[in-house]
Amino acid sequence: MRQAFTVEGLCCAKCAAEIEEAVGRIIGCESANMAFMTKKLTIEAPEEDMERITAETELIVRRIEPKASVKRR
């Protein structure tokens, strides 16, 4: 399953790269791609893991970029 998110409030490419790397390490995540210019985060994972991965992703984004928010596209 592929799920796309918008990460609003993202301030720099370094933070985008850190988010992509951290989300990609979540157990069950098959791939993560964070595009700084479009603020789009795309995650691929099994459907049964997506809710948990989404929740963990939101925590990761807030830890790396406290003022950012994650919204499903």
The pTM for the full model equals 0.95
Q: What is the pLDDT along the chain (73 residues), one digit of tens a residue?
A: 999 999 999 999 999 999 999 999 999 999 999 999 999 999 999 999 999 999 999 999 999 999 999 999 9
Q: Which residues share a beta bridge with 55?
A: none
8 Å CB contact between 5 and 72 = yes
